[in-house]
Structure 1
Amino acid sequence: MLKFGKTRKVAAGFLVTIVVLVAFISISTQRRCDAQGGKEYEYIGLLTDVMMIVKKSYVEEVDSKKLIYGAINGMLTALDPHSSFMSPETFKEMKIDTKGAFGGLGIEISIKDGILTVISPIEDTPAQRAGIKAGDQILRIDERFTKDLTITDAVKRMRGPKGTAVILTIMRDGFEKPKEFKLVRDIIQVKSVKSRLLESGYGYVRIAQFQERTDEDLSKALKTLVEENKGKQLAGLVLDLRNDPGGLLDQAVRVSDHFVESGKMIVYTEGRDKESRMQFTSSSRTKEPNYPLVVLINGGSASASEIVAGALQDHKRAIVMGTQSFGKGSVQTIIPLSDDSGLRLTTARYYTPKGRSIQAKGITPDIVVEQLELPKESSRRESMMIREKDLENHFEGGEEEKPAERKADPKDQKGERKPVDPLKADYQVMRALDLLKGWEIMKQMGPGKP
């Protein structure tokens, strides 16, 4: 009983401290609130009343820290889907995320129309391998319905030790009813930039997420592509931002800076505070040659990836191809708090160089290309098509040229098919490559040429 009594006294003392603190805030802000015609101090008093009632009458004893954290989180959740309170543990994980290594499923989420929605699965993660797609609605995480979950709560439930399983109940366009997807958690190592040559002269760069080293990694990738192209400058480049959920604003600016002429606007932000009104322009550093550039986007391209696509589109530096992007055009500022917790607070909207707001609209591609599945047996089907030479009584085309050397069968000596190049089977990438080739042909023809 003595221990219980001491606990009650400590709790009561803590509550008195809170009440005194809130009362002090109320008094100090009352004059300012009255001058503005507001009644904020009355609402602060209401919060104090509710806390006292809960502490006194709730069926179980409540941790005051839990109450305060919950009140702050509820306050921020009422603002928009992206503002949130981060406990010390969550805040620490957030800082790790931007460095490109974290534990979980590899999935970027948001709240859209009140429903927990996938922005995009991160490349080569449990989420992508399980078949999770951008736009999927997550109705349940294990047995917990997500309707009343904040993004922070949802992330906590999906994170966990490597090797443990979680079941997501997903609703998707085309589904008659929700389906369950079983995912096994893993340590997520996100490689921000991947690159390769599609063909001689034509490069491909994929940015999966904008992290602390993205700009540095992109510089290395572009240099490597030239080396792989036998030291010759590229004839064209595909910049793939599909399913890139965004990340760090400064890295989006630096990526755009590789391609945008010096002194040109890349993005600007507008907010209520002077500190949230910023302009970002291209620097005077060495730029990439003015080769043709195609940027690929889709419904999983959000935030920082939309900044890059919008800047290159507005300056006519690139053709944007694919499908409408996600439409996250708001800036979140991370504010550390005294107990190592933090706030993620929406402080501004960002705009493309021509003043377009992307919020809830997204980037519209210059050329809309839906993703299609390329037929795996296309070469076989093509060989079965009837041609002129197969028609009865066809006439010859004159002296025949030396027949080309027959290409090797796609099967090896053991009769097994060679693995299919995933990019060669990617319809949108192949259409981007076709556009780059056509661009080069038109340039070579020049004005007045047939």
Structure 2
Amino acid sequence: MLKGSKYRKGTFLVVGISLLTLAIAFGVQRRCAAQGNDYESIELFTDVLSIVKKSYVEEVDTKKLIYGAINGMLSSLDPHSSFMPPETYKEMKIDTKGTFGGLGIEITIKDGILTVISPIEDTPAFKAGIKAGDQILKIDDKYTKDLTITEAVKRMRGVKGSKVTITIMREGFEKTKDFVLERDIIQVKSVKYKTLDDGFGYVRISQFQEKTDDDLEKALHTLHNENSPLKGLVLDLRNDPGGLLDQAVRVSEHFVPEGKLIVYTEGREKDSKMRFISRKGAKEGDYPIVVLINSGSASASEIVAGALQDHKRAVVMGTQSFGKGSVQTIIPLTDNSGLRLTTARYFTPSGRSIQARGITPDIQAERMEMTASADKKDGMHIREKDLDNHFETKEEKAPEEKKVKPAPYKTDEQIKSDSQILRALDLLKGWDILKATGKI
């Protein structure tokens, strides 16, 4: 029996080794097959390139063909991955500093149509009345149907003082309308502020740029000096298309207690897995905050809204946000061009992914223009889920938590006509009254 037992054990061992050998062989075979498929695909590409170079009706530039192929490859992935030729890459680096030439609109592709995500405040597009959801059918005499976002941006930018005509179709329009815009140097003031009423401040972040955190610190300092004490704050992130991730984290740190998770990212590569924890430093008091968002609030602005909402540090008011829950990494290439590649998804502290979903406000509040004629709601909504090739994501649980002075914002007349700001102010005042009476 003992011998039989040894024999059976030996048999199991031999079978185990055989299965392991088969598994390794199968794995190697699969890898070889995958590599073989890659090589075959690359060979197919070089064959097509060779045929085009040899037989196309006109002589073509090889770099132009390669750039076109890279554009096509990236556009098949998701709406935010893109290739930037040297000139575009250079402009992108200027954009993050807050100064560039053009019209002042954030654009995307929706259903194959160039569409406005949001106009940037105090720019030619904003002043001309361009709205979120507007479809740009033509730029000057060029139809936009086959243009990439990069090409469209290039056509809309130009020398200050030069003019460009964009043809717009909007929900409610019976026919297209031409807007003649004069290009300007776009100097986006990332942070603006104002005292709404005694003790109640207002801060607007229009975009997350290199100096956003510095400008916010100056704005908060001024509001504290104007109000003793500061009893409540409206943080306006409406139509904020996002920007730099590190600035979203730093903005959140003003309001999120030390040691608390602000946002974390998950991707395939090790460098894509990051956790951002609120660091030591000066923190704002525990006064109530209302964060305003709408369908134009995307990316970095959703990170801030989500962090403050999850930590119950603010009440979020407005309409569903855009839903851009992905992180893009900018990768410089050898010829001074650049690659914008989606490398990770980000999650709020509670583990929410807002990809194609957005941040849901605690209080739903459409914006109504307070005019004598009629109430007017927000423009046509466009969100991440409406974009071609957007990707869905499953809910995941959060890991355990181990110098330019910003300008005062909006006239009193503009404040009085903004129903969402007025409603936020009423909420803060109501909170203050309840607190004073001991009911909260």
Fold shared, TM-score > 0.5 on shorter chain: yes
Deviation at 1:420, TM superposition (A): 5.6
Aligned to 1:106: 104
How far apart, CA to CA, are the structure 2 residues paired with 1:377 and 1:118?
A: 26
* Residue 176 (structure 1) shift: 2.7
Q: Which has the higher contact order (CA 8 A, sep 6+)?
A: 2
How much has 1:315 moved relative to structure 2? 0.8
The AA in structure 1 aligned to 2:304 is: V
Does structure 2 conserve the Cα–Cα contact (< 8 Å) formed by 1:332 and 1:346? yes
Q: Over alpha carbons, which structure has the higher Rg?
A: 1
Q: Which runs of structure 1 show a deviation greater than 3 angstroms over 4 or more consecutive aligned residues?
A: 30-33, 35-38, 375-378
TM superposition shift of 1:377:
9.9
Q: What is the Cα deviation at residue 334 of structure 1?
A: 0.1
Alignment correspondent of 2:334: 338
Q: Give, in whole Å, the separation in 2 of the partners of 1:237 and 1:243.
A: 18
Mean Cα displacement is larger for which, 36-45 or 212-221? Answer: 36-45
1:428 aligns with 2:420: yes
In the alignment, what sits opposite 1:153?
151
Instruction: Provide, for residues 181-212 of structure 1, a one-character-per-residue CA deviation record: whole Å limited to 9, x for no partner.
Output: 22111110001101110111100001010000
Q: Distance in 2 between matches of 1:160 and 1:171?
A: 23
Letter in 1 for 2:284: E
* Equivalent residue pairs, number: 377
Q: In the TM superposition, what is the alpha-carbon distance from 1:31 to its structure 2 partner? A: 9.2
Question: 1 CA distance for matches of 2:195 and 2:81?
Answer: 40
Q: Which residue of 1 aligns with 2:297?
A: 301
CA distance in 2, matches of 1:286, 1:39: 55
Structure 2 counterpart of 1:343, which letter?
A: L
Shift of 1:325: 1.0
2:218 alignment partner in structure 1:
220
CA 1:201–1:176: 2 relative to 1, 3 Å: same
**Equivalent residue letter for 1:351:** F
Residue pair 1:135, 1:300 contacting (<8 A) in 2 also: no
Residue matched to 2:400 = none
Alignment match, 1:166: 164
Are residue 237 (structure 1) and residue 233 (structure 2) matched? yes
Question: Aligned residue for 2:259?
Answer: 263
> CA–CA distance in 2 between the matches of 1:47 and 1:424?
60
Is residue 104–residue 188 contact of structure 1 (8 Å, CA) maintained in 2?
yes
Structure 1: distance between partners of 2:29 and 2:64: 31
What is the distance in 2 between the residues matched to 1:136 and 1:267?
A: 32
| CA offsets 1:297-353 (integer angstroms, 9 cap, x no match) | 111111100110111111110011111111111110000011111100011111111
Please state how far the C-alpha of 1:360 moved relative to its aligned partner. Answer: 1.2
In structure 2, the CA distance between the partners of 1:33 and 1:58, relative to structure 1 (3 Å rule), is farther
How far apart are 1:432 and its partner, in Å? 0.6
Mapping 1:347-358, distance limit 5 Å: 347-358=343-354
Q: Helix, strand or coil for the counterpart of 1:263?
A: coil
The match for 1:389 is none
Counterpart for residue 4 of structure 1: none
Structure-to-structure mapping, 1:72-83, within 5 angstroms: 72-83=70-81
Aligned to 1:323: 319
One-letter identity of the residue aligned with 2:140: D
Aligned pairs (5 A) from 1:39-54: 39-54=37-52
SS state of the match for residue 244, structure 1? coil
Q: How far 1:157 sits from its partner (Å)? A: 1.1
Counterpart of 2:279 in structure 1 is: 283
- Match status 1:312 vs 2:304: no
Partner of 2:92: 94
Paired AA for residue 319 in structure 2:
T
**Partner secondary structure for residue 233 of structure 2:** strand
Q: Structure 2: 5+ residue runs without aligned partners? A: 1-27, 375-410
Distance in 2 between residues matched to 1:343 and 1:327, nearest whole Å: 22
The equivalent of 1:8 in structure 2 is: none
TM-score when scaled to structure 1?
Answer: 0.81
Picking from 344, 367, 370, the partner of 1:371 is 367
* TM-score normalised over the length of structure 2: 0.82
Is the partner of 1:283 in helix, strand or coil? coil
Deviation at 1:147, TM superposition (A): 2.2
Match of 1:132 among 130, 133, 145: 130
Q: In the alignment, residue 333 of structure 2 is paired with which amino acid?
A: L
- Aligned identity (percent) is 73
Equivalent pair of 1:295/1:321 in contact (CA under 8 Å): yes
Tell me what 2:13 maps to: none
Say whether the 8 Å CA contact 1:203–1:225 is kept in structure 2: yes
Give SS of 1:422's match. helix
Q: Hey, what's the Cα distance between the residues in 1 that align with 2:127 and 2:358?
A: 27
Q: Does 1:446 align with 2:438?
A: yes
- Paired residue secondary structure (1:338): coil
Q: Does 1:437 align with 2:429?
A: yes
SS at match of 1:247: coil
Q: CA deviation at 1:62?
A: 1.1
**More off after superposition, 284-293 vs 157-166:** 157-166
Structure 1 counterpart of 2:140: 142
Q: CA separation of 1:31/1:163 partners in 2, compared to 1, >3 Å: closer, same or farther?
A: farther
